[in-house]
Amino acid sequence: MAEKQVSPKIEVRVAVKKDVDAIIALSSKVFRDESPYTRGMILGQMSAFEEGQFVVVFEGEIVGYAATMMLPERKALAQHTWAEVTGGGYAAMHDRKGEWLYGMEVCVDPERRRLRIGKRLYDARRRLATDKHLKGIAFGGRMPGMKRNLKRFGTAEAYLEAVKANDVKDPVATFHLNNGFEPLRLLKGYYPADVESGGYGVLMVWRNPYYDPQREEQPVNRGNPDIVRVVTVQMEARTIAKPQDFYDAVEYFVEVSSEYGGDFVVFPELFTLMLLSCEPEELKPDAAIQRLTEHTPEFVQKMTDMAIRRNINIIGGSHATKTETGDIQNVGYAFLRDGSVHAREKMHPTPNEQTYWQIKGGGPIDVIETDCGPIGIMICYDSEFPEIGRRLADQGARILFVPFNTDTRHGYLRVRYCCQARAVENQCYVVTSGMTGNLGNVDNLDIEYAQSGIFTPCDFPFARDGIAAEASENVEMVTVADLNLATLSWARYEGSVKNLRDRRLDLYRTTWSDGG
């Protein structure tokens, strides 16, 4: 027997012209002491922004209606009246380039209150704001409990504060607060006919957790701007006969990463020490640094060329070198596919780096702007200092890259655990890349232990253990993962915990020497 299809009893859909009479009838039912919407107003709303008008249909009857339009931020979030902002109810001020979805009206059949009609309409608005990549939703909300409570609280401002503190419940404003809307300010004279609210409106906003302010500025070179594909290379130290052998090995991994559609490929800390393995004899620290410094121009040029030719951003591990100031630094490079090169010095050299190589701590720590948004680089030991990851996250980084080089499992686990902590506390992704094996003819590179990984925050949309992908221990291989920036934005606004937003800045904060 064929399965019988049953039409849903209740549905939310976009309003169409044949709904106009039913919408007018609904508004007459809701606004008993005011004039209902006219046919011209409803048609004007549909004409201005067809996809922004919603109805709720229950058993064939329209029991809910929501009218919306788009507005620029300067209008949506400024002081305004309902008549001004809606063009007298016709949605005449709709601006298709606006960043905010503005709620003109919500009508709910008073005889159908238990169907959660209002919530369904607000959910429809949220979906529309998300689909259109808008900053959020704004509207002037009512607070009809104010009139009867005015003697108790004295002013509209005091009443609103009491509602926000949950000292008193308002039939409408409390509903909005419970549904994730944030009151920004009172709108005086917003709707004079609303006597119960004293003519006031409450400017309510919902901020789209998926909104990415950098998205519109990024070049369109990816199929989905929300997805960033990262490739981390766990590279084995190898003895080479000539420098070109090193670059050939690096380019192999760059080519593979590019063919797999990677946006970033990451190499380990100090991977350029392999360039010393072709020297006729093992070099002492001073001579080794001098030789690496001589390799710097060729290294930068070749890596830049690879990034451009393979159309991929390369996080070029790190390279110990003597800088223009004469100091020895452990420098991490980002070679971007637009041809630009960015250098970041390791801030915290390990005790071994300080004593053996005479490496000094560098700086500053700032994000690097890429076509995938701002990123940060923390070189190995730097990942063990929480304030660095926090600074980069505050500057907008959502992906932190950590090239590392550790000799034992103890050292590796320090880096791993700290990187996972940085992912949780900053609600960001952390990508690590380490080196394996050994080079017997390069001093101070005796043994290496690595298990490179790609780490996420720990919340429902992410991998259950906070690991998007990881390499096998001490095996040369590449590891690939797609990182969803929209999911990250959601976690920061709607997640089970909101580490970035819940900081007690009234009790503590880190102040940097540049004032950041």
Number of helices (H) and strands (E), helices first, in the chain?
A: 14, 21
State the catalytic residue, choosing from 99, 105, 251, 269. 269
Tokens of 471: 């390499």
Kindly give, in sequence order, each residue whose CB lies less than 8 Å from that of residue 214, ignoring residues fewer than 6 positions away: 373, 374, 396
- Position of tokens 């052998």? 245
Q: Is 241 exposed, middle or buried (0-12, 13-18, 19+ CB in 10 A)?
A: exposed
Q: Which strands, in side-by-side order, build the sheet including 61-71? A: 10-14, 54-58, 61-71, 100-108, 136-141, 201-207, 182-187
Catalytic site residue 119?
no
Cβ atoms of 317 and 332 within 8 Å: the answer is yes
Cβ atoms of 293 and 322 within 8 Å: the answer is yes
Q: List % helix, strand, coil for the chain (3-state, nearest 5).
A: 35, 25, 40
Q: Is 419 exposed, middle or buried (0-12, 13-18, 19+ CB in 10 A)?
A: buried
In this structure, which amino acid lies at residue 358?
Answer: Q
Catalytic site residue 18?
no
Which one, of 64, 447, 452, lies nearest residue 232 by Cα?
452
In this structure, which amino acid lies at residue 21?
Answer: D
CA 59 to CA 325: how far, in whole Å? Answer: 77
Which one, of 131, 65, 79, lies nearest residue 101 by Cα?
131
Q: For residue 17, what is the DSSP state?
A: G
Q: Is 514 exposed, middle or buried (0-12, 13-18, 19+ CB in 10 A)?
A: exposed
Catalytic site residue 105?
no
Alpha helices, DSSP H only, in 110-242?
117-131, 146-153, 156-164, 173-178
Query: Could you give the 3-state DSSP secondary structure of residue 514?
Result: coil
State the catalytic residue, choosing from 380, 419, 428, 458. 380
State the catalytic residue, choosing from 135, 251, 346, 458. 346
CA 269 to CA 33: how far, in whole Å? Answer: 73
CA 136 to CA 431: how far, in whole Å? Answer: 31
Which one, of 307, 241, 231, lies nearest residue 274 by Cα?
241
CA 316 to CA 334: how far, in whole Å? Answer: 6
CA 23 to CA 27: how far, in whole Å? Answer: 6
| Residue numbers annotated as active site | 269, 346, 380
